[in-house]
Structure 1
Amino acid sequence: MDRPSPSLSQFVLKMHSRCDLACDHCYVYEHADTSWRGRPKVVSEDTLVRVADRIAEHARAHRLPAIHVVLHGGEPLLAGPDRLRRAADELSRALDGVSALDLRIHTNGVLLDENFLELFAELGIKVGVSLDGDKASNDRHRRYADGRSSHPQVLRAVELLNRPAHRRLFAGLLCTIDVRNDPIAVYDALVALDPPRIDFLLPHATWDVPPLRPGDSATPYADWLFTVYRRWDAAGRPVPVRMFDSVLRTLRGESSLTESLGLAPADLVVIETDGTFEQADSLKTAYDAAPATGMDVVANTLDDVLRHPGMLARQQGLQQLSKECRTCPVVNSCGGGLYAHRYRTSSGFDNPSVFCPDLMELIMSIRDRETSAPIPSAGHAELLDAVQLDELASGLGSAETVSRLAAAQLDLNWDLLAAVSERAPRTDRTATAAWQLMVDLDVRAPEALDAAVAHPYTRPWALRILEGRAPQTIASGLAEIAAVGAMRARQGDTIAVPVRGGLLRLPSLGSVILPDEASVAEVTADPEGFTVRAVGCEMRVGWDEGLNGLTPHWHPVRIVERPGWAVALEDTDPLRDSHQWPVTDRLSAGEAKVWAEDLAEAWSLIQSELPGYAPGVAAGLRVLTPLHAPDGSDVSAASREAFGAVAAARPETPDLLALLIVHEFQHVKLGAILDSFDLHEPVGDRRLFYAPWRDDPRPLDGLLQGAYAHIAVTDFWRVRRLTTQGQAARTAEARFARWREQTVGAVQVLAGSGLLTPLGDRFVAGMARTVEKWSAEDVSPAASAEARRSAARHRADWEARNPARATHR
């Protein structure tokens, strides 16, 4: 297959050619290039039109799916809101129907305020902020011309970006390294600001003007970065770091995430305020006019720019590197380093990077740590500590530990909602009003709003939106969540909510049946109750009304409350169908009463006989969704996407309901763990394994899920054999004997798979300690024999159905 022709998909658009800071390490004003002096301070509107048209022309010709534009400077905020709006509008106009537009702005942050952020929210502009760490580190370079610190203003900007109204705009922090700064102090200061990403940048230097190298080390930049890497890795990699992620990706043979590493062809061009095209900005550090192409948006196309010798050189991958680089063992990761850093007057760019020793040392240190890394002593720094992760590995989980999992899942829901809101068209007033109400409630009644966002079926809906499967429900979904937040707050807010086929969905609270012709309902909530208005009708419902059909058009979610636990019997949410079994219709009053009685008995049994599981269930299981089993069998399910919910058809006895609850909640816990921790290698290994609880071969992830869930199953039968009598005790003993043997075997397969990460090794070792300690417990010869026969029958049947898979145990 022919290689696609070179193209440009990344553009740095200079909005202003001056800056309000006087950073002494700035490559624009403090290095070799002085071209900024002769350029207009602000890009003209005419230039913006021509830029947008040139980019669209190129995108159309090369059929580019996405275009990435960074508004830059100098300091781009100096261009002012009107000129920034014009840039966004022209790019959107030109690329409409051609390519998706990813628009960002890089700023020093000192001018960033609410007005700018409201503009960026409207225009869909994400914001990256330059910050070199703690105050002492940042003050080393990033000061005003009169010497004043810029640190307080930048912290204020980041605080604004971290507010719920603007968090979705936050692109990350950019930090230029100075090896005289304490690496741990810099890293900790940046992580404490909760950025979505961190970029560590090597200071710009060449062989003519080499970088500062204080002390005796030959690789001070590698030493500095690897110190940060160890801190980052030991903390569970709590935030993406572009440089580290790029090294890890290239070590696996994948592409880099930054132009400063890897061998991918350059696809970036800079457009200055006068409309001239330039190569990468970093070339300004090499020599005066080094980035120049002699081309501009009036006379030249972007394909003309691609034919410039400097651009062509950076399209040739390995071939454009120096002889020394081409024979280097880490060239696929390093890629020769940043192009500008290779410059020497006598030989141009035909040299290794001036940071070559540092890059080699850093890449090899990371490679060695990845291949022989010690088991981390802790998990996610802001989620769980080592003790809590080990506690979960045992199969249990305290109320505090499970509450932390729930908090992380709530954060994930919020991130998904922010992403969904970005998909809403600017003209969608319903979606805009819903998001604004959520922003307001986050200030006035955050707990009420969090309770709405935490509804287990929020995430499945949001993922369907982001996967492009239900774009028409953006406004309705956002409005429904905002309405529930307002209803829980009870502060008199009113919101318009689209109706789904005659059903007003109020997730976690219930649903209202409306006339078929109703398309929108207006909901107002106050301390006494709520009012729904639609198609000229008005319904008033008190907070204590509507249970068991007393108000026939209002179907509230029934809450089963027992000492220490409250769980919603969810049979109202039309989006609850997230499990492999069909859900029931709305339960009758009699059916709901039987469910409540069985749940009460099941909870009592869990508290008395499985006390190690009860606190976690009480803290994390908020919803039980009734299922319909066509053949009347005992079925249950948990969805990886619906934290806090399990689903089940009501079994014959409450003790079996208790088993279903603890079994499925194991899946819920492990799903949340896997959302935050890598316990096994990424999907890619296609080996399948025998699982004694399934008739089909399972991938490693499925075997891990099943083994973890069967810790609770085994424990249930272990206890039941001691608390029951007669045939019930004998049945429990046989099942304990079988699941003990089978779960031990499954855990051993996991441990020997070679597919676990170091943290996964530690987690599975914790599982093994739990199941192996049961091996010393006596069971009768009859129970042992029955367990062996049952296991052998299942294995024989499985191998008959899966002959090609019979070798994997």
Structure 2
Amino acid sequence: MDPSPHPLSQFVLKMHSRCDLACDHCYVFEHADQSWRGRPTVISGAVLDIAARRIADHARTHRLDTVHVVLHGGEPLLAGRERLRLAAQGLHTALSGVCALDLRIHTNGVTLDEKFCDLFAEFDIKVGVSLDGDRAANDLHRRYRNGRSSHAQVLRAIDLLNSPRYRHLFAGLLCTVDLRNDPVTVYDALARLAPPRIDFLLPHATWDEPPARPADSTSTAPYGDWLLRVHDRWTAAGRPMGVRVLDSVLRTLRGASSLTESLGLAPVELAVIETDGALEQADSLKTAYDGAPGTGMHVTTHSLDEMAVHPGIVARQQGLDGLCETCRDCPVVRSCGGGLYAHRYRSGSDAGGFMNPSVYCADLKQLITGIRDREAQKTPMPQLPLDDTHLDELATGFGGAEAVELLARHELTVNRELLAAVWHESAHSATGTAAWEALAVLDAEAPESVDAVLAHPYLRPWAQRALRGDGEAGRIAMRGVAELAAAALVRAGREGTVTVPTGAGVLRLPTLGAFVVGDATLAQVTGGADEGFTVRVGERTHTVGRKSGADPAWRARHRFELPGWAVALEDTDPWRDAHGYPVRARLSPAAAEDWRGQLAAAWEWIQHELPAYAPGLAAGLSVVTPLRESPTGADISSAARDAFGAVGIARPDTPQTLACLLVHEFQHVKLGAVLDLMDLYDPTCEQLFYAPWRPDPRPLEGLLQGTYAHIAVVDYWRARRRTADGAEAHEAEVRFARWREQTAEAVDTLVGSGALTELGGRFVAAMGETVSSRLTDPVLPDALINARRTAADHKGRTAPEAG
């Protein structure tokens, strides 16, 4: 049999054929196809084994880079941890050395717990959760069989996924549209949960069983109108997360591919493996007629190559030729693509009943033209604060003090906007209102002091938490506003008093330090006292200033004035825990002094050996947050995407290593600020790419960030081989040889991704010129051999078929 020109790359693996909820809009149990009744409840180990081998064989035959598998149901968690483990192990084993595996699970979330999440973390299984909005919206459909609401259990699951331990597993929320629910209320309820993506789904329907439409509605496209209201709310909020249907429309309007099979003309490459091993088409076909998804094939007797050429699969891979005449003549067909295949069904019509427009035709046209017109009416972007000269400096991997200062000014503007958003979105207490008014006065009279406080790297993590809108957000918001006002008052040296609510026994003064207040819930900060300030807690007044003695309750931030660089060690701010690693507790004076000495030595080394990096680093890196050391002695460092001006580092053994970590992480800081200013790549690109410095494939931004950072790593080892002796010099030679070639390879991958914007292409080209200039340095032959052997081994273990 001739292989399909469109091999299958997406698989739905049915783990369990029953569900613990009784959602009345479920296409598996409530629509025309009722084949679930005759299927095994749980998939067997034998079916899992042959399914994994079939998928691997198909991937090997067609040289696929990545296979996408979703563990599904019914409710897949009902299969239990051991059966899910068996599925994950089997897939990883079968695909090892063949291609990358993108493994996900879609669940209603009601039984999700830490043990499940630990299993998912072990196998990097991303988790999508179904939720239709707030409780009222969710309760319209997603209830237990006895009518009890599932909403609280789902929110508990999402809170678990949002915890730092499991946040990397959270894939997003899936919400089925119901016109009875207000779209803005639904969107806001979902957005407050901070999902990485929201997927709004039209309820499955056909021309025989059309979707519900309000009898009193005057709209001819109520579902299109509903989604447009979501689009407008999402856009007004700054598009803080991906929304699959809206991103897909935006992509297809630009000529790119869709992110969903329900839009666009890209071929569908999906197969379903049922609990009994039957090979079926997409589950959405269950809404058409009984038996619609069936193929008559079984995983034990048919290959996936045979499945790929089944007429039902081929019918969804023909682009325009697979659509009816009405669709082919439509001006938005390249975005709409005829809509979801199942939604075209009408009994008694041609081509098996699917050669029709979508039953949502008017709604899809309304949505697409509405978004198109809104995009066309957008006002031009304001002039960027970076001119071409500064941008080109940064693109080379360096960037002088002026360019970095411009980035810092823009980040300050972003922080100011976030602060305003916190104020406007939060309920105001009397204490918070007084603090806001004090901050406004200081902003007029001592703006440089306010700017210094608002530029604090950990303002943004606080603001983002305050904007989540949950039960704690209001208190966090008002406390933070008061803390900022008090810190600005102290920095300005102005007389006045700010009352600050305290939390966890600490009064936080951003950029200055923290005060231990015990059980007190309020503290009064008064400025202008003896060139310092006073803090009144209960009946006791503490004075902090140059002319007063040291108060044991005051924990000043350690600040060091090194030659040409002022840097602070941040070990007091509770929001510093943003780097993905545990932070160190308050440093002792001796430990802080050890840090000062090593920072001074590292800075001196950077100035002498990496002078191109020194001016930008001095202009933009103001905070180093000490991280907890690794028990294995491995170097640990991190730059948080939302903490401009700070890096987290576990203090290494040598100043040279600290120098490497500083320049490496500050590359991420710079590039993050550039990405806040401009689009260098298509943000909807979901492809994963081989990264030479990672054990797993990376999304495009991750590869871009890593490549930019490794320009500094290349230059560090280039300098180390000049300054080291003996074995250390040889090791530096090997690492220089390896990283210059692999960073050049990563640049080529970025260029070939097809997802860079015009500006991004220019930026990456300049990065490539810097790396290419390092390729001309002579390297000892044995070092080059060792470097290439190490690189080949890494690539062979990580992504042997990927580029």
Q: Quickly name the TM-score band, shorter chain normalised.
A: 0.5 to 0.7
Distance in 1 between the 2:344 and 2:305 partners? 26
Pairwise mapping of residues 778-789 of structure 1 onto structure 2 (< 5 A)? none
Partner of 1:519: none
| One-letter amino acid matched to 1:63 | R
Aligned with 2:242: secondary structure?
coil
Partner of 1:363: 368
Distance 1:219 1:379, change over 3 A: farther
Q: Does 1:544 align with 2:590?
A: yes
Distance 1:573 1:143, change over 3 A: farther
Note the C-alpha offset of 1:116: 0.7
For these two proteins, the number of residue pairs brought into alignment is: 493
Correspondent of 1:352 among 351, 357, 373: 357
Aligned with 2:212: secondary structure?
coil
Partner of 2:115: 115
Partner of 1:196: 196
Is the CA contact (8 Å cut-off) linking 2:461 and 2:643 kept in structure 1? Answer: no
Aligned with 2:127: secondary structure?
strand
Correspondent of 2:236 among 234, 237, 242: 234
Partner of 1:337: 339
Note the C-alpha offset of 1:216: 1.9
Pairwise mapping of residues 443-522 of structure 1 onto structure 2 (< 5 A)? none
Is the CA contact (8 Å cut-off) linking 1:52 and 1:91 kept in structure 2? Answer: yes
Distance in 2 between the 1:248 and 1:189 partners? 23
Distance in 1 between the 2:174 and 2:200 partners? 6
Note the C-alpha offset of 1:556: 2.2
Partner of 1:653: none
Note the C-alpha offset of 1:375: 7.7
Distance in 2 between the 1:58 and 1:196 partners? 31
Distance in 1 between the 2:325 and 2:224 partners? 23
Is the CA contact (8 Å cut-off) linking 1:278 and 1:291 kept in structure 2? Answer: yes
| One-letter amino acid matched to 2:119 | L
Distance 1:381 1:333, change over 3 A: farther
Computing the radius of gyration from Cα coordinates, the structure with the larger value is 1
Pairwise mapping of residues 67-86 of structure 1 onto structure 2 (< 5 A)? 67-86=67-86
Aligned with 1:116: secondary structure?
helix
Distance in 1 between the 2:334 and 2:414 partners? 30
Q: Does 1:643 align with 2:644?
A: yes
Note the C-alpha offset of 1:204: 0.2
Is the CA contact (8 Å cut-off) linking 1:270 and 1:279 kept in structure 2? Answer: yes
Distance 1:144 1:98, change over 3 A: same
Q: Does 1:307 align with 2:309?
A: yes
Is the CA contact (8 Å cut-off) linking 1:343 and 1:349 kept in structure 2? Answer: yes
Distance in 2 between the 1:325 and 1:577 partners? 66
Partner of 2:623: 622
Q: Does 1:571 align with 2:573?
A: no
Distance 1:508 1:386, change over 3 A: closer
Note the C-alpha offset of 1:407: 2.6
Q: Please list the CA deviations of residues 337-396 of structure 1 after superposition, one character each: whole Å capped at 9, or x if unmatched.
A: 10000000021000011000000010000000001125899989994648999x9xx999
**Higher-RCO chain (CA-CA 8 Å, sequence separation at least 6):** 2
Pairwise mapping of residues 185-334 of structure 1 onto structure 2 (< 5 A)? 185-214=185-214, 215-334=217-336
Partner of 1:5: 5
Structure 1 residue runs of 4 or more that deviate by more than 3 Å after TM superposition:
374-389, 394-397, 403-406, 408-412, 444-448, 507-510, 523-527, 572-580, 638-643, 666-683
| One-letter amino acid matched to 1:369 | R
Correspondent of 1:407 among 430, 439, 460: 460
Distance 1:160 1:363, change over 3 A: same
Distance in 2 between the 1:221 and 1:235 partners? 21
Is the CA contact (8 Å cut-off) linking 1:380 and 1:676 kept in structure 2? Answer: no
| One-letter amino acid matched to 2:139 | D
| One-letter amino acid matched to 2:106 | H
Correspondent of 1:398 among 439, 447, 451: 451
Partner of 2:54: 54
| One-letter amino acid matched to 1:165 | R
Distance 1:169 1:578, change over 3 A: farther
| One-letter amino acid matched to 2:623 | R
| One-letter amino acid matched to 2:259 | L
Instruction: Work out the percentage of aligned pairs sharing the same amino acid.
Output: 56
Is the CA contact (8 Å cut-off) linking 2:606 and 2:613 kept in structure 1? Answer: no
Aligned with 1:127: secondary structure?
strand
Q: Please list the CA deviations of residues 545-569 of structure 1 after superposition, one character each: whole Å capped at 9, or x if unmatched.
A: 684xxxxxxx52359xxxxxxxx75
| One-letter amino acid matched to 2:455 | V
Note the C-alpha offset of 1:213: 1.0
Aligned with 2:200: secondary structure?
strand
Distance in 2 between the 1:574 and 1:115 partners? 47
Q: Please list the CA deviations of residues 289-312 of structure 1 after superposition, one character each: whole Å capped at 9, or x if unmatched.
A: 100000011110001011111111
Aligned with 1:293: secondary structure?
strand
| One-letter amino acid matched to 2:237 | A
Is the CA contact (8 Å cut-off) linking 1:160 and 1:166 kept in structure 2? Answer: yes
| One-letter amino acid matched to 1:643 | F
| One-letter amino acid matched to 2:226 | W
Q: Does 1:373 align with 2:378?
A: yes
Distance in 2 between the 1:676 and 1:402 partners? 15
Note the C-alpha offset of 1:327: 1.0
Aligned with 1:56: secondary structure?
helix
Distance 1:680 1:63, change over 3 A: closer
Note the C-alpha offset of 1:411: 8.6
Normalising by structure 2, what TM-score? 0.55
Partner of 1:425: none
Aligned with 1:67: secondary structure?
strand
Normalising by structure 1, what TM-score? 0.54
Partner of 2:723: none
Partner of 2:543: none
Q: Please list the CA deviations of residues 209-261 of structure 1 after superposition, one character each: whole Å capped at 9, or x if unmatched.
A: 00011122110001100001001101110111111111101111111111111
| One-letter amino acid matched to 1:644 | G
Aligned with 2:602: secondary structure?
coil
Aligned with 2:590: secondary structure?
coil
Distance in 2 between the 1:332 and 1:407 partners? 40
Aligned with 1:277: secondary structure?
strand
Q: Does 1:40 align with 2:32?
A: no
Partner of 1:154: 154
Note the C-alpha offset of 1:403: 3.8
Note the C-alpha offset of 1:115: 1.0
| One-letter amino acid matched to 2:159 | E
Gaps of at least 5 residues in structure 2 are 383-412, 425-442, 466-503, 512-567, 572-581, 626-638, 648-665, 684-756, 760-803
Gaps of at least 5 residues in structure 1 are 413-443, 452-506, 511-522, 530-541, 548-554, 560-567, 585-594, 600-616, 625-637, 647-665, 684-753, 757-809
Distance 1:640 1:74, change over 3 A: closer
Q: Please list the CA deviations of residues 61-91 of structure 1 after superposition, one character each: whole Å capped at 9, or x if unmatched.
A: 0000111100000000000000000000000
Distance in 2 between the 1:134 and 1:102 partners? 30
Distance in 1 between the 2:605 and 2:230 partners? 47
Note the C-alpha offset of 1:575: 9.9
Partner of 2:746: none
| One-letter amino acid matched to 1:14 | K
Note the C-alpha offset of 1:643: 3.4
Note the C-alpha offset of 1:570: 7.5
Distance 1:395 1:24, change over 3 A: farther
